[in-house]
Structure 1
Amino acid sequence: MAAVRILRICFNKFNFSRTIYTKSSCCSPIQIQMPALSPTMEEGTITKWLISEGDAVEIGDAMCEVETDKAVVTMEANEDGTLAKILIPDGTRGVKINSPIAILAEEGEDLLEASKFDPPPISFHPPTSSVEEVVTETSQIHATNTPNILELGKMGDKISPAVRQMLNQFNIEVTNIHGTGPKGIRLKGDVIKYIAQKGLNPVHQHVSTPTKQVTTPPTKATEVKKDSVATKPPVQVHEGDYEDLDLSSVRKVIAKRLTESKQTIPHAYSTIDCSINKVLDLRRQLAKDGVKVSLNDFIIKCVASTLRRVPEVNVVWRGHETKHSDTIDISIAVATDGGLITPIITGADRKGLSAISEEIRELASKARSGKLQPHEYQGGSFTISNLGMFGVKEFTAVINPPQSCIMAVGGTRVRPASSPVDLDDDVISDVTESATDSVMTVTMSSDARVVDDELASKFLSTFKQNMENPLYMGLL
């Protein structure tokens, strides 16, 4: 394609006339392919085309909205031209990356001819049926008389899988069989001969095909009197009405990543209570001065300041090693109709409360409307998930890899105020009955491979200090 375009430029420069999309032409129109809009994206959904066939586009123009495994992203044009044909209509799910989704004609090219271009389909190799492999392997085992030797261990007896199956089927002790094979190996013929001599019947009959039913006559040892067993009618289970719901790409990836996180990351949990009286007082004072910030904004700023003082926690796990993040980028969990997404406050330690508040409102709005750009949710070194506004007292959250920590923030509750000496110490304090304290519980989930219990305790202790003394957030 690059060589063809260079030739086209040369032809235009020297005023050569050209006719393309004919049988003798070697040129082909531009194929717009499904791009990989996130590092983990494998397929996407064309939610909406923003232009129609015949519309002219320039580099950077919005063409369509694509639902990735993270969010709904606007796909921009990388070439100038005219949209000749839409190959993938609105609402199409499961479009693999690099699959053609539209045809773009360059300036001056015949739209009708371009729309007739049929791109080659993306080929794939279907997986081999596991049932066929099992059947083939089983047939090979039973068709051969050469035993596949297995060690039994206790007595050093060596038998093949086929022989072992027959011994189990007829409930025969291996020591009762005299082996005629090399070095006394017990062959299938030895077992068959022993069964014929003793006139044995199988105890467990394995039916290999569903169309053939084998009735096993009971032996004297296994015969049960029919009169002693009460015949019970079969239990009928009636399934209730239900509806199958299609999972969005975001939901599928969330399920996959959370499962991998819990299975591969050793989660460790640490919980601490923080008094937020001074934060609430400062928030009320700022509101009187016309500065509106939320408690969540204070938490973000406090976490950023704590990461600056305890940088050992600001790390990510990269397979077999840890990587320290040079910047403090805080991911904030935001619930959307499509699932949970984590937009990022970059450089949170360098921003003030007003800047954090304004940025988080903008990012949350874009997240709920599906307008986040990839750079706004990819990355991050620490995540905060706050369910306090829903009345949740405390909870634990799942780590978002490759990050090492996530903080779960619970709701605010009131308890009797503590003295300068912590209530955890066995010291009786002079506290009036009317004095109360607003307390918030936070639980940090940490990757034990990177953040051990001592480091987690140090981080939470520093967070508590910053939260209970808001001036520390900007001074230390």
Structure 2
Amino acid sequence: MLEYDAYLGHVKEPMPNGVGHHVIYKMAARFLDKDALKVKMPSLSPTMTEGTIVQWLKKEGDPLSAGDIICEIQTDKAVVGYEVDEDGILAKILKPENSKDVKIGTVIGLIVEEGEDWKNVEIPPDVEQSAPSDTGPVTPSSKESPAQSSLDQPDMHSIQSYGPAVRCLLEQYNIQLTDVHGTGPANRILKGDLLKYIKDKNLKPVPLASISLPKGAVASTEKTSSTSEPAVEKKPSIQQPTMGTEGANYVDIDLSNIRKVIARRLTESKISSPHMYCTIDSNIVRLIQLRKEFIDDGTKVSMNDFIIKAAAVALQKVPEVNSLWKENGISIMSNIDISVAVATDSGLITPIVKDAIGLGVEDISKMVKDLAGKAREGKLKPEEYQGGTFTISNLGMFGVSEFTAIINPPQACIMAIGTSRVELDEEGTPQTYMKVTLSADARIVDEFLATRFLEAFKEIIENPVLMLSQAPKIDHQKLFAK
């Protein structure tokens, strides 16, 4: 039996360009004999241990050509398309749609060579097969009503495969998936699609008490008759299955793989990394004026783009902060790769602006827009969000004055950006200030180092021309020997 050991990394190869709306991984293998090819759950990120089969784009018996995407896999970071690199026939689906917590290396399907008898493909004895899902039409029996039969048929997209933001909107406004046209990958519904649908239909949030309850349940808020007639149980209306366990005043939401990983990593960070916080104010009047000049010149850049550049220059001046924690020591990174926190339907993800010190503000702006768009649509390639040496989280655009952020391990620091505010100086002149808070791993960055970095950042922000300067090369090996 020829096996595809993608999870061992032997032939895994990222596509240079995404196909369609997905990140694509190639499945390379040669049919050296007439046995079926085992298609295994691959490892698509360093932290991935299991995945979810979101959707099969091919069904059993479908011919396959090199470059075809056979299924979508939800990793701990994104939804990834799985591409074959050989012609053949999809003979057997061993893990149906919505199979959750599928371990890396688990066989999820079998492929045979063209011309082979795919219907009688032999399933190896060491391969576990899940119960088949009802993907075909269901013929109602004489005892089953057509309405009940339609409920038993799975939708093209299961509500369980969506992130909390989408699922909460579906529940809050009592929207059925079939009512909304999705603009995402394979017509997948995005948060923006729901917001547009809600706006177009002028929908209002539905009180939880008015949402259909499971059979046999009675809402506590239901008014009862004052007569002696027995209460008549209301039959629930036929609607989209809910996202989880529903009660009188709550809804349980199943955790996606991405949310599980985020929860685990944040908890580990707070437990294992002793967080230390330092806050500083910066006068951004000159920076605002510089941004205005960029915009007047036809170049649209944000304050965050300048902040990323300023942080990169400050890291070059205080390179000890640009470090990673390892059990056997501290690694001071020569490359300055800034992770930028982006909120998505599935949770927070941090795409990376690589070599930020070597990029101009305009280049950073274009890269951030591109990465943020990919992140929200689930199109990021693993190399675009794995790694990073320093993280920036900006809630200033939402009016948050200041906050503390949780460190993104193994990085040493994360910088939280608050909103701007106007104050009068001693002469009565309006000045604009911005407050930033550095969360630092005290095992790597102490109060003195954190202060040095924030002072450097403040100096650069208040004198933006310094963003164009380059610090001299530093011998990193001697930094902690002082």
- What CA distance in whole angstroms lies between the structure 1 residues aligned with 2:81 and 2:55? 9
Q: Does 1:105 align with 2:112?
A: yes
Asked if 1:117 corresponds to 2:111, the answer is no
Once residues 58 and 65 of structure 2 are traced to their aligned partners in structure 1, the CA distance between those partners, rounded to angstroms, is 12
Q: Deviations over 1:383-404 (max 9, x none)?
A: 0011111111000011111111
Partner of 2:27: none
Residue matched to 2:275: 267
Could you tell me whether the CA contact under 8 Å between 2:35 and 2:112 is conserved in 1?
no
**What are the equivalent positions in structure 2 for 1:43-58 lying under 5 Å apart?**
43-58=50-65
Residue in 1 that maps onto 2:197: none
- Give the partner amino acid of 2:90: L
- Which residue is equivalent to 2:449? 455
Q: SS of 2:464's equivalent?
A: coil
- Residues 2, 36 of structure 2: 8 Å contact kept: no
1:136-151 pair list within 5 angstroms: none
1:432 paired to 2:439: no
| 1:315 corresponds to which of 323, 348, 353 | 323
Q: 1:291 aligns with which of 282, 291, 299?
A: 299
Report the secondary structure of 1:316's partner residue.
Answer: strand
1:20-169, aligned counterparts within 5 Å? 28-114=35-121, 117=123, 120-122=126-128
Match of 1:467 in 2: 461
Whether the aligned pair in 2 keeps the contact of 1:47 and 1:91 (CA below 8 Å) is yes
> For residue 260 of structure 2, what is the amino acid of its counterpart?
K
Per-residue CA deviations over 1:109-146 (Å, capped at 9, x if unaligned) read 332233x53563459xxxxxxxxxxxxxxxxxxxxxxx
Where do residues 273-352 of structure 1 align in structure 2 (5 Å cutoff)? 273-352=281-360
Task: Render the CA deviation track for 1:196-249: whole Å, top value 9, x for unaligned.
Answer: xxxxxxxxxxxxxxxxxxxxxxxxxxxxxxxxxxxxxxxxxxx95332210000
Question: SS at 2:70's partner residue?
Answer: strand
TM-score normalised by structure 1 residue count: 0.65
Matched residues in 2 for 1:89 and 1:57: separation?
A: 18
Contact (CA 8 Å) 1:302, 1:473: kept in 2 or not?
A: yes
Which digits, 9 at most, give the CA deviation of each residue in 1:433-462, with x for residues without a partner? 2x1111110000011111111111000000
CA change 1:40–1:370 in 2 (3 A) is: same
Where 1:472 maps in the other structure, the secondary structure is helix
Q: How far apart are the structure 2 equivalents of 1:2 and 1:95?
A: 21
Aligned to 1:425: none
- Measured after TM superposition, the shift of residue 355 of structure 1 is 1.2
The corresponding residue for 1:193 is none
**In 2, Cα distance between equivalents of 1:117 and 1:79:** 20
| Other-structure match for 2:23 | none
Q: Which amino acid aligns with 2:332?
A: H
User: Residues 50 and 244 (structure 1 numbering): CA distance in 2 closer, same or farther, change over 3 Å?
Assistant: same
Q: 1:84 to 1:389 in 2, by over 3 A?
A: same
DSSP 3-state at the match of 1:65 = strand
Which residues of 2 match residues 152-301 of structure 1 at below 5 A? 241-301=249-309
Structure 2 letter corresponding to 1:106: E
Aligned partners of 1:122, 1:450: CA distance in 2, in Å? 46
Percent identity over paired residues: 52
1-side partners of 2:65 and 2:308: how far apart? Answer: 40
Q: Deviations over 1:315-359 (max 9, x none)?
A: 100113111212111101111111111111111111111111111
1:29-57 Cα offsets, whole Å, 9 max, x none, are 00101111111111111112233434444
Change (3 A) 1:46 1:2: closer
Q: List per-residue Cα deviations over 1:237-283 (Å, max 9, x = no partner).
A: xx953322100001111111111111111111010011111111111
Distance 2:57 2:442 in 1: 47
TM-score normalised by structure 2 residue count: 0.64
Structure 2 stretches lacking a partner, 5+ long? 4-32, 130-246, 471-482
> Helix, strand or coil: the match of 1:471?
helix
- 1:27 Cα deviation (Å)? 5.2
Contact 1:74 1:371 in 2 (8 A): no
Mapped partners of 1:399, 1:353: distance in 2: 25
Stretch moving more, 351-360 or 52-61: 52-61
Judged with a 3 Å threshold, the aligned counterparts in structure 2 of structure 1 residues 312 and 48 are, in CA distance, closer, same or farther, namely: same
In the alignment, the residues of structure 2 paired with residue 344 and residue 248 of structure 1 have an alpha-carbon distance, to the nearest angstrom, of 23
Compute the displacement of 1:291 (Å). Answer: 0.3
The 5-angstrom pairing of residues 369-408 of structure 1 reads: 369-408=377-416
Query: Any conservation in 2 of the 1:100–1:119 contact (CA below 8 Å)?
Result: no
Cα root mean square deviation, aligned: 2.2
**Residues 375-426 of structure 1, C-alpha deviations (whole Å, 9 max, x = no match):** 1110000000111111110000111111110001111111113xxxxxxxxx
